[in-house]
Structure 1
């Protein structure tokens, strides 16, 4: 892994690996949560006074994206996420996304029950062709737990304001998580915005260290199109409470 990461041209991957490995010092526990690699969010947040790091490599056609999204819960019911992505194309590597988000629970998800959360955020794509400026968004995740929490269903409804076009869109998502074995989960989702064709994504999530270190792999595409497919590999790290 380190030999690959130090090859010329792999600086973005090396940065993501360094961030992920740096978080290992915090890993002493935590509660399993639905998160990466799904776009559809769940009605749960990181434990109070704890943090997580989600990092992944995504390969759409023609380029590669390297993401890192650290998140912490400082107050007990407010998860703050700050992060972004680097994109590697033939023309070189550049910053392609920045994100800031806050998420709070309106009703905690109960075992064999349901929960509701609210998320607000803004993202920025600095590329000139993206229009610059900041996109603003908000959405409400609603989650349902079945079969002693071995089957989870998540729904999202939200709003997006694009800075480049100044257009406003309805956003939505529907996802499921099904436990196949003790540490292995099958995930599937569909999501979209406005009246365009939706996207779909399927994959597997596996706990290398239960409730501490998780890896995942997914395949996604736009329904009815073959040119927007992608593959992703991710790593998620969870910490014990350690914040003051």
Structure 2
């Protein structure tokens, strides 16, 4: 299930969502990976002055408890480097069905560590409620997040939010779009496509995003994959 050195700029982007969602969303969905199985989401995010590489494995051992543990590596054009470590758990109050809705709750912690003598550890603890609604037999799905985050260094609290939309174009292609932010900083938006290489198992995606709407500075492009195998035997 809210991402993102320019270490400070990455963290400010992450504070907008404070959620870990079905790739490539920052706005999380009210769904879990396959019960009794695990999934892997990995992606590269490119800015004009830096790059990120992410890997977020997640497992659902009980059927209604998804545990995500992973991280990222960042590198700027001046060779500055930093890393992130993420731990999150998510459960559902109600599972979503076709033409129905689902809701849950997630809590997580992210630690950001600049690889420099003068760099101190940064990060956040966060909590959010994802709500997803399905229309037209699941062809259209909306996602809404409302949450809270606390900065480890400053101790400041903030409210976070996100709204996303998935549209199934055909059996393999899906369009996605979202906006997200918080009560302290600007909003962000991104849009892109998912492609099911192996339906319900392996997908790839591409997105383009920017702060304050598209055409602003600090735009990004991302390329990613998501592998969701069947239940382990």
Give the structure-1-normalised TM-score.
Answer: 0.82
Match of 1:4 in 2: none
Match of 1:141 in 2: 130
The answer to whether 1:173 aligns with 2:156 is: no
Q: What RMSD in Å do the two structures reach over aligned CA positions? A: 1.7
Is 1:86–1:93's contact at 8 Å kept on the other side of the alignment? no
Match of 1:232 in 2: 222
Q: In the TM superposition, what is the alpha-carbon distance from 1:90 to its structure 2 partner?
A: 3.4
- 5 Å-filtered alignment, 1:85-96, equals 85-92=72-79, 94-96=81-83
Match of 1:207 in 2: 196
Is 2:95–2:103's contact at 8 Å kept on the other side of the alignment? yes
Give the structure-2-normalised TM-score.
Answer: 0.85
The answer to whether 1:97 aligns with 2:84 is: yes
CA distance in structure 2 between the aligned counterparts of 1:113 and 1:166, rounded to whole angstroms: 38
- Residues paired across the two proteins, number: 210
**Structure 2 residue matching 1:186: 3-state secondary structure:** strand
- What per-residue deviation string (whole Å, max 9, x for no partner) do you get for residues 167-215 of structure 1? 1100000000001111100000000011422000000001011011100
Whichever of the two has the greater Rg, that structure is 1
Displacement over 4 Å in runs of 4+: 128-131
Match of 2:149 in 1: 160
- 5 Å-filtered alignment, 1:43-122, equals 43-92=30-79, 94-122=81-109
| 5+ long unaligned stretches in structure 1 | 1-33
Is 2:34–2:228's contact at 8 Å kept on the other side of the alignment? no
- What per-residue deviation string (whole Å, max 9, x for no partner) do you get for residues 64-103 of structure 1? 1000000000111100000010112234474421100000
CA distance in structure 1 between the aligned counterparts of 2:128 and 2:76, rounded to whole angstroms: 31
Match of 1:193 in 2: 182
TM-aligned CA distance change 1:150 to 1:130, over 3 Å: farther
